């Protein structure tokens, strides 16, 4: 074990992933720095923001970063992802442009969230924020002088489309989202209104003759802003994204039209902290994110028995092995291995979407592996025929197991390895991924083939077919039912 592993093993890990809006979150008063301060002594916060990156490039490095074979300190407690600002760049057909088409952005975000969910207990998706268009144009002149084009490289109208897709993907993937585009639009509108009001109050008393034209323009703009603000506040999640008017004031959430100033950073942090609490994560609750070592006050109050306080605190955090109720067990006659597991915390949210009517805290997961006659990495008639045979075999076996458990008045079901949907009960909004689920529970090697992932069994390699059953039956009942198959004939 390396010194880094030792330093981090008693703290949970938080991953901040994204573009420059994440990279710069560790600046003074940045939202990432505020996260680290909020979680101090409970979690180590890792900033993995990459300036200029779009979702295409971000997905590429995340696959490398979170490969199962890569060194792991802790499974991540919380992960955030904020991408889309660069994807929404105006497409000018230039090879050095970060623009990504909307449909590809949607696919990239689905892949990124899928990968994060396999490694993280809680995933939070932050939409790209709005921008200050006037400030962006002013920044171009400041940065490029005479070479400034005077044309926006991004617009609120276009970014709103990416923010909308981002929200929909998060909902589809059953993860929490923070609609930063909406929140920043509301705040920017408020700032513009306040600025117009303050300017009018400062200037008007000094004028002997009121400029009626200028006054009418201000009043008209203020009325327009009030109407927009009413629209924005009418619903936290409007059916269609409402974009700012683009009439920026001398007050903003940004420093260059895109990157946050101190007020913008604070808005992101507060919105994220609210979202974390909104899904039931209690940071101050020691059962969720315990302190790594005792407080100095507790050691001082121990009446000299400080070593006992340390010993009490030295409880190692649970790993996937701690959730295993029955280790891998072979039913030789069926060439099938099964194990029984309690639900990992990071799996609860997804399983609620698969089985919405079930108390997930009482759920047991029974992953199975059937030995195959050929390598399922292969493509061809033989491999497809073998997959069909193994699917039929699992469904027959799974229905028998679930039938016995149901006869004993306990809920039980299996998911279809092809679709991820329940076979017996009603479908929920989510799918159960057998490969990712088995990997999280058993930590068998995972192989990336380019188009899909495969489990590599420690004995059978990739000549294996994973599938899963679920039940709320007590463990002793499950064990007695599974015992009846040990002498089964194939």
Terminal Cα distance for the chain, rounded: 45
- What is the greatest pairwise CA distance in the chain? 102
Joined tokens for residue 5: 């592993």
Could you list the beta-strand ranges (E) of 19-66.
43-49
Integer Cα distance of 170 and 340 in angstroms? 30
Q: Nearest-CA neighbor of 150 among 132, 168, 163, 138?
A: 138
Structure tokens at 295: 């407080």
Lookup: tokens for 261? 């100033």
In three-state form (DSSP H/G/I as H, E/B as E, the rest C), the secondary structure along 21-33 is HHHHHHCCCCHHH
Dig out the tokens for 484 from the structure: 């009846």
Instruction: Single out the catalytic residue among 20, 195, 302, 371.
Output: 20
CA gap 344, 81 in Å, rounded:
22
429 noted as active-site residue: no
Reference 341, options 371, 316, 315, 368; nearest CA is 368
DSSP string for residues in 294-349: --HHHHHTTTT-HHHHHHHH-PPPP-GGGGEEEEEEEEGGGTEEEEEEEPPGGGHH
Cβ atoms < 10 Å from Cβ of 33: 17
Distance CA 340, CA 351 (A): 16
Strand (E) positions, 252-408?
Answer: 324-331, 336-342, 364-371
CA dihedral 112, 118, 121, 124 (to 10 degrees): 10
Distance CA 355, CA 470 (A): 10
Q: Taking the mean position of all CA atoms in its chain, how far away is CA 457?
A: 28
SS3 52: coil
CA distance 206 to 209: 9
Tell me how far the alpha carbon of residue 376 is from its chain's centroid. 30
Structure tokens at 77: 């407690």
Question: Contact 88/54 with Cβ under 8 angstroms?
Answer: no
Write out the catalytic residue numbers.
20
């Amino acid at each position: 074990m390396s010194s880094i592993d030792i330093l981090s093993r008693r703290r949970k890990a938080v991953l901040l992933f994204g573009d420059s809006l994440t990279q710069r979150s560790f600046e003074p008063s940045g939202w990432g720095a505020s996260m680290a301060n909020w979680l101090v002594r409970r979690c180590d916060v890792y900033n993995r923001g990459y300036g200029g990156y779009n979702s295409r490039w971000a997905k590429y490095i995340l696959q490398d970063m979170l490969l199962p074979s890569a060194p792991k300190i802790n499974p991540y407690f919380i992960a955030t992802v904020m991408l889309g600002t660069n994807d929404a760049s105006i497409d000018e057909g230039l090879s050095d442009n970060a623009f990504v088409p909307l449909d590809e952005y949607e696919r990239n975000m689905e892949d990124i969230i899928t990968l994060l969910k396999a490694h993280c207990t809680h995933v939070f998706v932050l939409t790209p924020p709005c921008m200050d268009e006037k400030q962006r144009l002013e920044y171009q002149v400041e940065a490029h002088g005479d070479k400034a084009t005077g044309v926006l490289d991004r617009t609120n109208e276009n970014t709103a489309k990416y923010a909308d897709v981002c929200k929909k993907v998060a909902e589809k993937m059953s993860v929490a989202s923070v609609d930063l585009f909406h929140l920043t639009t509301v705040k920017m509108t408020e700032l513009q209104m306040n600025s117009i009001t303050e300017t009018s109050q400062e200037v008007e008393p000094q004028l002997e003759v009121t400029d009626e034209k200028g006054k009418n323009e201000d009043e008209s703009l203020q009325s327009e802003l009030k109407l927009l603000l009413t629209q924005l506040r009418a619903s936290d999640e409007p059916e269609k994204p409402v974009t700012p008017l683009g009439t920026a004031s001398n007050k903003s959430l940004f420093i260059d039209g895109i990157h946050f100033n101190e007020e913008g950073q604070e808005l992101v942090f507060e919105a994220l902290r609210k979202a974390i609490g909104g899904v039931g994560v209690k940071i101050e609750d020691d059962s969720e994110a315990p302190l790594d070592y005792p407080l100095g006050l507790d050691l001082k109050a121990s009446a000299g028995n400080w070593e006992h306080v340390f010993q009490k605190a030295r409880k190692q955090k649970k790993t996937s092995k701690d959730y295993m109720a029955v280790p891998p067990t072979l039913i030789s006659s069926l060439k099938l291995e099964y194990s029984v597991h309690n639900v990992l915390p990071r799996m609860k949210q997804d399983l609620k979407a698969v089985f919405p009517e079930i108390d997930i805290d009482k759920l047991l997961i029974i992953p199975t592996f059937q030995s195959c006659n050929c390598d399922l990495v292969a493509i061809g008639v033989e491999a497809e025929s073998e997959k069909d045979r193994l699917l039929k075999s699992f469904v027959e076996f799974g229905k028998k197991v679930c039938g016995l458990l149901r006869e004993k008045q306990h809920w039980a079901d299996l998911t279809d390895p092809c679709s991820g949907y329940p076979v017996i009960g009603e479908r929920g909004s989510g799918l159960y991924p057998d490969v990712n689920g088995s990997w999280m529970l058993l930590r068998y090697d995972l192989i990336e083939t380019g188009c899909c992932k495969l489990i590599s069994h420690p004995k059978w390699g990739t000549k294996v077919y994973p599938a899963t059953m679920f039940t709320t039956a007590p463990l002793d009942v499950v064990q007695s039912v599974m015992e009846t198959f040990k002498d089964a004939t194939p």
